[in-house]
Amino acid sequence: MGNAYFTNYSITKNANDDYSIKLNLEGTDFQSESFVIQQDSHPWFNANDAYSNTLTASNVSWTMNFSGYGSSCKLTFRCKASKSSTWQDVITVYTPDEYSSERYPSFYPEVTHQYIRDDSDGYKYEARTCVANAIATLKEIHEYKEGRTRYNRFSIGWIYGNRDSNHHQGEGMFVSEALDKLIQDGTPPFELLPENVDYFLPHVPMQDYYPDIYEYNYSDYTGFTAKQLVQNNYNSILKFAQPQRIKNHSGYIHKIDAKIYDIKQRVINDGGVLVELNLYNEFYSANNNGGIVPEYFSGEIVDGHAMIIMGWKKINGVSYWICQNSWGDWIGDNGIYYLPFWTNKATWYYYVEDNVYPLPKAPTPSLDINSTVKTGNSIKVTINPVEHVETYYARINGGNQQSSSGRTFTFTGLAPNTQYFIEIACIGSFYSMSDWAGYYATTLSAELWEWHTPKTTGAGFNVTRAEWIAFCEKINEVRVAKGLSAYSFTTSTTYIDKDKPFYAWIWLEAANAINQINGQVASACLNVNSGDIIYPWYFDNLKTALNNAISS
């Protein structure tokens, strides 16, 4: 069955709490099959032809009656192509009590503002970004309703600057055009395009913020616009914006198609409704009147405006929509305005249905090979940083995964001289889980170093070329396992061979190479000079320092 959804539905209720719902089922690639619908607590609605239809076009309508539900109930409608196919949920609706006096928002987004500031942090003027602010606010509500707590704000600059060439190119924007782009592209989290200097994130450096760019196509002081913001970042940011795409939108003219109960229903379903209205001078009285907007206006229209309806309440017996405005939280009722149900200046109500899309997959991480540390019984790995990733994962031989905000993981209790398969992955607020990347690593041999011949007082200097070269090779084996580079030891027979003098600088090569691993070489061993005596305990000290590195 193709994708299906209900649109243009309306609910009416009589005095006996009986409901009548009218729905229009639409989709993209239906087949000519018999469709049936089902409600949560009832079986098939195919006993009557009103509830079962054979589709011959891409949409079909039903009118259904329900009774005995009381003043409020939840109805989840499903449809499927036949009795043997799988149910598909297509809509959840509530039967609202249109006479209910109050419904407060369960979530209040942060109040945004439209003003532009100059470089001295002073107020300059209002930008015409109310539509972009309203849409960003509605998206924040959508994410809250979905239980996705990763984001707490969305990019107003992106919404305002992301337009097609045939869209309005001046300041301000048309709601329908902005919502069309939201279906196509969505909007990224604010954190990825931080452009509002009034809202700082503690983990984002100040130099990463864009100027206050709430203008679309011109700027008289920053030289940077919202249009440029989107153009400069579109290809790199789009994948983060698309998970916040909406499913569809529809607009209704005030008092003609829009009904009070329908607006309430969409607030319940979608979290909010975007209202577009004409501004008159009387509207501004709400700035200093606790946000209460006059019911009727007169005179000349001074501007257009948009807000988000999030609930409703009664004030002194008058019913008002609870709206979030975008003029800052220092006016109105902490940024909230109350619009009368029957104001004569609300021109359009826009219903915006959200959708849930998967996040882009995080880039596959890689290991910092030079930081890998291996011992006889452990392996420590470090993952290279991945942008916009907060959590890293690692596992060995397919075992339980470890997770950390850090990038270093240590696996202990391993067998010596054994190859292990280590896998790493990552995830972030803007990403889903990455693919796993695999690497092989082999623990050190557990064999400790021992001199080929004992170094004792009175035994003479009994270090052979073969013994010294083997010692240097063992040092490099441990250095590489500990994440250090191999030391460039002198191995030429010109300096190391039978009957050659044992130079102080050759000794110091080994002493320093070991000391760089763990700092356990004695001071005397690090400060030998030509002509000094090399005591037997010097050899024991190098052996002990090296073996401690192997065992640790």
Q: In this structure, are residues 251 and 350 in contact, taking their beta carbons and an 8 Å threshold?
A: yes
Look at the domain 115-354 and name its fold: Cathepsin B; Chain A (3.90.70)
Q: In this structure, are residues 503 and 528 in contact, taking their beta carbons and an 8 Å threshold?
A: no
SS3 track for 403-419: EECCCEEEECCCCCCCE
Residue 417, Cα to own-chain centre: how many angstroms?
42
SS3 track for 175-188: HHHHHHHHHHCCCC
Q: Structural domain boundaries of the chain?
A: 4-94, 115-354, 369-442, 465-551
Q: In this structure, are residues 19 and 11 in contact, taking their beta carbons and an 8 Å threshold?
A: yes
What's the confidence (pLDDT) of residue 223?
Answer: 61
What does the DSSP assignment read for 493-524?
TTTSSTT----HHHHHHHHHHHHHHHS-S-TG
- 4-94 and 369-442 in the same fold: yes
Q: In this structure, are residues 252 and 348 in contact, taking their beta carbons and an 8 Å threshold?
A: yes
CB-count burial class (<10 Å; 0-12, 13-18, 19+) for 84: exposed
- The Cα–Cα gap between 235 and 162 comes to 12
Residues in the chain: 552
- For residue 6, give both structure tokens: 């209900």
Q: In this structure, are residues 242 and 141 in contact, taking their beta carbons and an 8 Å threshold?
A: no
Backbone angles phi, psi at 383, to 5 degrees: -90, 135
CATH of 369-442, one of 2.60.40.10, 3.10.150.10, 3.30.70.2500, 3.20.20.70: 2.60.40.10
Quick: pLDDT tens for 509-531. 999 999 999 999 999 999 999 98
Alpha helices for 242-363 (secondary structure H): 260-270
- The Cα–Cα gap between 519 and 534 comes to 20
- For residue 331, give both structure tokens: 């006016």
- The Cα–Cα gap between 260 and 320 comes to 11
4-94 maps to CATH 3.40.630? no
What's the confidence (pLDDT) of residue 475?
Answer: 94
CB-count burial class (<10 Å; 0-12, 13-18, 19+) for 164: exposed
- For residue 83, give both structure tokens: 């009795």
Strands (E), 280-365: 303-315, 318-324, 336-340, 346-354
Measured from the Cβ of residue 285, the count of other Cβ atoms closer than 10 Å reads 11
Contacts of 297 (CB under 8 A, 6+ apart): 278, 280, 282, 283, 343, 344, 345
- The Cα–Cα gap between 290 and 135 comes to 24
Q: What is the pLDDT along the chain (552 residues), one digit of tens a residue?
A: 344 444 444 555 555 545 455 555 544 333 333 344 444 433 333 323 333 333 333 344 444 444 443 344 444 555 555 455 555 555 544 444 544 678 888 888 888 877 665 555 555 556 788 999 999 999 999 888 877 655 678 988 899 889 999 998 888 899 999 999 999 999 998 888 877 555 555 555 555 556 656 577 766 555 678 888 899 899 999 999 999 999 988 877 654 445 787 888 889 888 999 999 988 888 889 999 999 998 777 778 888 899 999 999 989 888 899 999 998 888 899 999 999 887 767 888 999 988 888 889 999 999 998 888 888 888 999 999 999 899 999 999 999 899 999 999 999 989 888 999 999 999 998 899 999 999 999 988 778 899 998 888 776 678 899 999 999 999 998 888 887 889 999 999 999 998 888 899 999 999 999 999 999 999 999 999 998 988 899 999 999 999 998 877
Q: In this structure, are residues 519 and 480 in contact, taking their beta carbons and an 8 Å threshold?
A: no
- Terminal CA-to-CA distance of the chain, rounded, Å? 62
Largest CA distance in the chain: 115
Q: What is the dihedral of CA 459, 460, 461, 462, to 10 degrees?
A: -50
Contacts of 326 (CB under 8 A, 6+ apart): 111, 112, 113, 114, 129, 130, 133, 134, 137, 307
- The Cα–Cα gap between 299 and 518 comes to 83
